[in-house]
Amino acid sequence: MDTYGDTAMQRATAGPPARRPAYTLIELIVVITIIAVLAGLSVAFMSAFNGSAATTASAANNVQNTLMVARSEALRSGRAYGVRFLRDPSNANQVTQMQFIQQPPDFFGGRAYVQAATLTVVNTPDVDLYGGFGPGDVRNPVQVGDYIEVRNTGQMRRIIAMTTAPGNVCRQVKVALPPSGSVAVPGSLTLSPVPAAGPKPNQFRIIRQPRVVGEEPILLPQDIIIDLQTNVTYSSQLPLNTTDNSIDVLFSPSGQVIGTNVTDAPMFFWVRNSLQATFSGDDTLIAVYPRTGLTAAHPANPNGTDPYSFAKDGRSSAP
């Protein structure tokens, strides 16, 4: 039997082989769309799962970097430079914004004397403390919150009010009183009453407090705060600006932290997500060490009685 011939005949009469089914363009588009939707849902889910920790960590890094920039600028410029932490107007226990600040040089004037009997008013008859700008101008060289020192007394008093005279000039300021019942305390201003006649030779200088540099504040991410309530145990370590109750971290030209209420103890800024309970997120402590001006980030310790233990001893914060 001619097997070869039969096989050739069958191939000739069977016609072309059946074509393999293929996807149409519409089917491909549907499949790609489904894949894209699933991928988007996965990303959204993972972002919601990890977003809080990532945002808190990045915000803490931003706080630390802001402090480091301020210290570097103080070292570079040779003038005190720092960061002001602004309390949230709706919650004084939270900080949501920061601003760079710089301390201007001391303001020197002519003569000064204390008004008779009160010891609360200092007159500067030959100097305009507004500097020609008028009351309420942020450019005024002297402002409420600055400190005045009359020479040869070695004492400074905080300016609590400025008096506007005709011509929109200021030649008189009120200063803070010493504590009730005190006769002479550190920082009090005690001068003889103004003489009825003759020269008034007392020279004075004004130690000006830090001023904001730039216009736009640095904002923390939404829902991320620096929690001052959590930090209540160590709130005495935070240098308060008595003018507006903000917190000023001011670096000297040598790098150390200077200013009112500054001690050798470290300052702690607790960064966390306000929508979460304490320790439920990636709570981070930014520590500032006043002696050196250096900063470091540490996790808050959720175990034990001292949540600041990792920041006090960096060796204990290793995972």
Regarding whether 98 and 217 lie in a shared domain, the answer is yes
Regarding whether 224 and 307 lie in a shared domain, the answer is yes
Q: What is the CA radius of gyration of the chain?
A: 34
pLDDT above 50 for 190: no
20 located within any domain = no
Q: How confident is the model at residue 312 (pLDDT cuts 50, 70, 90)?
A: confident
Return the HEC string of 164-223: EECCCEEEEEEECCCCCCCCCCCCCCCCCCCCCCCCCCCEEEEECCCEECCCCCEECCCC
* Of the residues 208, 224, 244, the one at which a domain ends: 208
CA distance 147 to 106: 10
* Of the residues 208, 225, 247, the one at which a domain ends: 208
Among 12-21, 179-188, 206-215, the range scoring the smallest mean pLDDT is 179-188
> If 0-12 CB within 10 Å is exposed, 13-18 middle and 19+ buried, where does residue 170 land?
buried
11 located within any domain = no
CA distance 168 to 171: 10
pLDDT above 80 for 115: no
pLDDT above 60 for 191: no
The tokens for 3 are 């097997």
The 8-class DSSP code of residue 24 comes to -
DSSP H/E element including 235: none
The tokens for 137 are 């101008």
Regarding whether 89 and 73 lie in a shared domain, the answer is yes
Regarding whether 187 and 121 lie in a shared domain, the answer is yes
32 located within any domain = no
Regarding whether 161 and 114 lie in a shared domain, the answer is yes
Q: Which residue has the higher pLDDT, 204 or 182?
A: 204
The tokens for 303 are 């175990």
Regarding whether 187 and 114 lie in a shared domain, the answer is yes
31 located within any domain = no
Regarding whether 294 and 248 lie in a shared domain, the answer is yes
- Token pair 């300016």: residue: 159
Regarding whether 88 and 124 lie in a shared domain, the answer is no
Contact, 63 vs 98, CB < 8 A? yes
Q: How confident is the model at residue 189 (pLDDT cuts 50, 70, 90)?
A: very low
pLDDT above 70 for 177: no
Regarding whether 307 and 248 lie in a shared domain, the answer is yes
pLDDT above 90 for 98: yes
CA distance 8 to 270: 87
Q: Which residue has the higher pLDDT, 123 or 107?
A: 107
Our measurement of the distance from residue 268's CA atom to the centroid of its chain's CA atoms, rounded to an integer in Å, reads 12
- Token pair 């059946």: residue: 18
> What pLDDT, on a 0 to 100 scale, did the predictor assign at position 136?
87
78 located within any domain = yes
The model's pLDDT over 288-310, given as tens digits with 9 standing for 90+, comes to 999 999 999 998 888 877 888 88
CA distance 49 to 272: 16
H runs (alpha helix) in 118-275? none
The tokens for 240 are 């308060």
Task: Tell me phi and psi for residue 139, to 5 degrees.
Answer: -85, -5
The 8-class DSSP code of residue 262 comes to -
The tokens for 134 are 């008028």
Q: Which CATH number fits the domain that encloses residue 248?
A: 3.55.40.10
Regarding whether 199 and 167 lie in a shared domain, the answer is yes
Task: For residue 82, give the nearest of 207, 218, 271, 221 by alpha carbon.
Answer: 218
40 located within any domain = no
pLDDT above 60 for 27: yes
Regarding whether 271 and 123 lie in a shared domain, the answer is no
Measure the N-to-C terminal CA separation of the chain; round to a whole number of Å: 84
The domain tally of the chain equals 2
The model's pLDDT over 35-64, given as tens digits with 9 standing for 90+, comes to 777 776 655 544 444 455 668 889 999 999
69 located within any domain = yes
CA distance 222 to 216: 17
132 located within any domain = yes
Who contacts 98 (Cβ-Cβ below 8 Å, separation ≥6)?
Answer: 63, 66, 83, 84, 85, 86, 217, 218, 220
Query: Buried b vs exposed e over 77-86: b needs ≥16 C-beta within 10 Å?
Result: eeebbbbbbb
* Of the residues 144, 179, 208, the one at which a domain ends: 208
- On the CB side of 141, CA atoms within 13 Å amount to 18
Domain that holds residue 301: 50-102+213-317
The model's pLDDT over 250-298, given as tens digits with 9 standing for 90+, comes to 999 999 999 877 888 888 999 999 988 888 778 899 999 999 999 999 9
Regarding whether 98 and 56 lie in a shared domain, the answer is yes
**Average pLDDT along the chain:** 77
